[in-house]
Structure 1
Amino acid sequence: MLKPAYRKDESLWADVLQQSSDPDQFQLWWLGQSGYLLQWQGQRVLFDPYLSDSLTKKYATTTKPHVRISERVIDPQLLQGISIVTSSHNHTDHLDAETLQPILANNPGITFVIPEANRQFVVDRVGCTPNFPIGLNDGQSTTIGDFTLYGVPAAHNELERDEHGQCRFMGFVIEFGSWKIYHSGDTLWYDGMVDVLKPFGVDIALLPINGNDPARGVAGNLNGQEAADLGKAIGAKWVIPHHYDLFAFNTADPQGFVGFAAEVGQPYRVLELGDRIILGT
């Protein structure tokens, strides 16, 4: 029995369409794993969507089966009016052709933001033209309409760079209006991380909590305690956990994170699949 979504497919999309375009508020939906949909003034940004069963199919007959434990939140064919979509790195749950190809096809004005180091890999996997994605490195930014995205390093498990010194794993801080959201991608805590992030004055930090267990055979992430501590250290107004409740072998109980956040006094919100947070002035 798969964990049900709070809202999914047409119901979720109806909720997106019904939300106010009030300039003093924005909405953020969790799409599962590390995927989020941000809406502000009717403009929409997707972070790292994974909305298929491609990994479950790929690993079905291997020693590392990716057994899904939750419902898919939304058919990517339903996603319309998307201004920006990101991929933080090349792992399929953050760069999925079965998810991205219909999104790119159905949103002709979309901008695709990636780590510059991954350009050729992204082009080959998604099937787009080489100059289509906008590539960033850490310390770089790009402005797309009313949104500015800043590239920050991620360690999954290392701060890995290509031969040109460009990050293969990244997070993004997105600034719009008076708000800033940090989407971590996949990352461990690395030296200097707080110094990189604290100056942004992040309102919401979207952080993984599934931890780093070498027995899983995959690269690791922050655990619940580290996510709570990192949010506190960078002064995030809210932490929203992600990267759990998708695959049986690589998940975590968000209540552990909740306990650690309470201990350190870090405000948080745990979203149900397909649920949203609305924040405003």
Structure 2
Amino acid sequence: MAFAALRFSGTLAHKLAASRPETGVSLYWLGQAGFLVDTGRLRILIDPYLSDSLAQKYRDRGFSHERMMPPPIEIADLPPIDFVACTHFHTDHMDGATLAPIAERFPAVSILVPKASLKVAAEKTGLGPNSFIGVDAGETLVLGEGAEVTAVRAAHEELTRDEAGHHLFLGYGFRLGHVRIFHSGDTIPFEGQLAEIEALKPDIALFPVNGRSEALRSAGIVGNFTLDEAVEVAEACAIPILLAHHFGMFAFNTVAPEIIDARAVAMTGKTRLLRAREGIEYRL
């Protein structure tokens, strides 16, 4: 698989309006765990957090959720979106203040959410049931000609199910033509994880690397892969590209970019580690 990380000039809105991939897939980081995927036929948002709703929610209480980076694109400047895929119900992954205006702008958009969180998604957004497609681990949905998504389990920090047995936390494996992208959702390592990822045969893995701590856990903030864990899983699954994300949004729950860059330089195996960056088109 050919891969390139290409810096573009101007804003992300200008870039998206100016061109679409004629072949392959283009990938753009939106901050935190958010990405925009463009196949030339379909545009898919994954876990977009483009508002400041968490800063407003936690103002003057608990950990500050002020954004460390502004949204790279305003919702009003988004091009037409076909699908939004939310890995779980936490607001930096399923944000009503982002999803509702996207659905208002693009009434035909379909929002994929865990079946366990269909009710929560409706409450967060005020949208009706026709806006959502519920999915559970082990299920595959066809998104269009040559495009599909398969849901797998995620452990944030535990493998959690609702009363009906549906998983609250998911990862998504996208097959988009000849390109396979895996977004793990928020997760830590768990038994059986490697086999589930390997079955998806991803060309690129989008893994969180902000880690976890007992101090945050005691405050009710669960964590993710450490950087080393993300690398170990990617290497164990023979994934060519690891794009590290879930940092640089909230000061209390991040990892320094230079740590990711230093780890990337030290890599000697077949997996290539990259730090997600604004202003870059990842082309597969």
TM-score, normalised to structure 1's length? 0.92
- Which residue is 2:283 aligned to? 278
Counterpart of 1:241 (choices 237, 244, 269) is 244
- Take 1:72 and 1:7, find their aligned partners in 2: how far apart are those partners? 17
* SS of aligned partner of 1:63: coil
After TM superposition, the structure 1 stretch with the greater mean CA deviation from structure 2, 82-91 or 258-267, is: 258-267
- Take 1:139 and 1:232, find their aligned partners in 2: how far apart are those partners? 23
- Cα distance change on mapping 1:119 and 1:91 into 2, 3 Å: same
After TM superposition, the structure 1 stretch with the greater mean CA deviation from structure 2, 198-207 or 62-71, is: 62-71
- Which residue is 1:133 aligned to? 132
C-alpha contact (below 8 Å) 1:43/1:81 kept by paired residues:
no
* SS of aligned partner of 1:236: coil
- Take 2:190 and 2:268, find their aligned partners in 1: how far apart are those partners? 20
C-alpha contact (below 8 Å) 2:243/2:274 kept by paired residues:
yes
Matches within 5 A, 1:25-174: 25-146=24-145, 147-174=147-174
- Which residue is 2:184 aligned to? 184
After TM superposition, the structure 1 stretch with the greater mean CA deviation from structure 2, 26-35 or 250-259, is: 250-259
- Take 1:79 and 1:124, find their aligned partners in 2: how far apart are those partners? 24
- Matching of residue 227 in structure 1 with residue 236 in structure 2: no
Give 2:202's aligned amino acid.
V
* SS of aligned partner of 2:207: strand
Counterpart of 2:274 (choices 257, 263, 269) is 269
Cα-Cα RMSD: 1.8
C-alpha contact (below 8 Å) 1:170/1:185 kept by paired residues:
yes
Cα offset, 1:164, TM superposition: 1.3
- Matching of residue 195 in structure 1 with residue 198 in structure 2: no
* SS of aligned partner of 2:248: coil
Structure 2, unaligned runs of 5 or more? 1-6
C-alpha contact (below 8 Å) 1:240/1:269 kept by paired residues:
yes
Taking only the aligned residue pairs, the percentage that are identical comes to 34
After TM superposition, the structure 1 stretch with the greater mean CA deviation from structure 2, 151-160 or 58-67, is: 58-67
- Cα distance change on mapping 1:7 and 1:90 into 2, 3 Å: farther
Cα deviation per residue 1:217-269 (whole Å; 9 max; x = unaligned)? 31100011111111111121101011100011000023333444533522122
TM-score, normalised to structure 2's length? 0.91
- Cα distance change on mapping 1:192 and 1:255 into 2, 3 Å: farther
- Which residue is 2:3 aligned to? none
- Take 2:93 and 2:39, find their aligned partners in 1: how far apart are those partners? 23
- Take 2:18 and 2:233, find their aligned partners in 1: how far apart are those partners? 34
Structure 1, unaligned runs of 5 or more? 1-5
- Take 1:121 and 1:214, find their aligned partners in 2: how far apart are those partners? 27
- Which residue is 1:255 aligned to? 258
- Cα distance change on mapping 1:18 and 1:89 into 2, 3 Å: same
Give 2:172's aligned amino acid.
F
- Take 1:240 and 1:19, find their aligned partners in 2: how far apart are those partners? 23
C-alpha contact (below 8 Å) 2:20/2:38 kept by paired residues:
no
Give 1:139's aligned amino acid.
G
Give 2:119's aligned amino acid.
Q
Cα offset, 1:17, TM superposition: 2.4
- Take 2:68 and 2:46, find their aligned partners in 1: how far apart are those partners? 21
